[in-house]
Chains A and B, each alone.
Chain A
Amino acid sequence: KAGVTQTPRYLIKTRGQQVTLSCSPISGHRSVSWYQQTPGQGLQFLFEYFSETQRNKGNFPGRFSGRQFSNSRSEMNVSTLELGDSALYLCASSYHRGTSGRASSYNEQFFGPGTRLTVL
């Protein structure tokens, strides 16, 4: 079974531009979460999507947004890029169980290799 894929792997942008990152989850996984990893702040949760709906959101400004498509693929968008947005952006997928849509505590998240974004 193919793992989580993220495209592109590397990206260089300049301040003020916007960027879109893509994540394809493992086949059958319906939940996709996004994380930002920086040397100073570590791994920080951005948001989680399940069944095309945002289920959870971290403490990031509105410049960070995302969406999920009917095939569970997800994109995240960052508008008006700032230097501090330079980071490794990780996507993780998991298989949700239960009709409530709540994450099962037993669910394992499978991570992609990440997209390294550099803002100049």
Chain B
Amino acid sequence: AQSVTQLGSHVSVSEGALVLLRCNYSSSVPPYLFWYVQYPNQGLQLLLKYTSAATLVKGINGFEAEFKKSETSFHLTKPSAHMSDAAEYFCAVRSDDKIIFGKGTRLHILP
């Protein structure tokens, strides 16, 4: 079964600074990878997904992620953090017709 590991349960960045949330996957076949965001008291919203069409995937709200097979990574980045980016972010992989989520990374934005 495939899985994802998110490094860091909490990440703090200053407003305007680079956001980098790390995700590594384990897969013996090309994976289908996702990043979701969850705001307080809400469900999950898809930020972006990798489906092997391009290694650099652009998503909503200025986020993007790069698929690196050599590093088995799919890290999420945003050049400049906004206060509204404070939320929990989940990396996920499709495995056997199910979506398997990482433990999540809570992003804190410092003023």
Give the B-binding residues of A (Cβ under 8 A): 4, 33, 35, 42-45, 48, 55-56, 58, 90, 92, 102-103, 105-106, 108-114
Q: Are A43 and B46 neighbours in the complex by a CB distance under 8 Å?
A: no
Question: Which of B41, B49, B51, B97 is the most central at the interface, judged by chain A CB atoms within 10 Å of its CB?
Answer: B97
Given contacts A48-B97, A111-B44, 16 further A-B contacts (CB under 8 A): A4-B43, A35-B101, A42-B101, A42-B103, A45-B99, A45-B100, A56-B98, A103-B97, A105-B32, A106-B32, A106-B49, A109-B46, A110-B46, A112-B43, A113-B41, A114-B43
Give the A-binding residues of B (Cβ under 8 A): 32, 36, 41-46, 49, 51, 90, 94, 96-104
- Chain B residue numbers with a CB within 8 Å of A112 are 43
Q: With the chains together, A108 CA to B41 CA distance in Å? A: 21
Q: With the chains together, A106 CA to B57 CA distance in Å? A: 14
Q: Are A106 and B97 neighbours in the complex by a CB distance under 8 Å?
A: no
Quick one: closest A residue to B97, CB to CB? A103
Q: Are A56 and B100 neighbours in the complex by a CB distance under 8 Å?
A: no
Q: Are A111 and B98 neighbours in the complex by a CB distance under 8 Å?
A: no
Q: Are A103 and B94 neighbours in the complex by a CB distance under 8 Å?
A: yes
Q: Are B97 and A56 neighbours in the complex by a CB distance under 8 Å?
A: yes
A109 to chain B, nearest CB (A): 6
- Chain B residue numbers with a CB within 8 Å of A103 are 94, 97
Cross-chain pairs A/B with CB under 8 angstroms, 9 sampled:
A33-B99, A35-B101, A43-B101, A45-B98, A56-B98, A92-B43, A106-B51, A108-B49, A113-B41
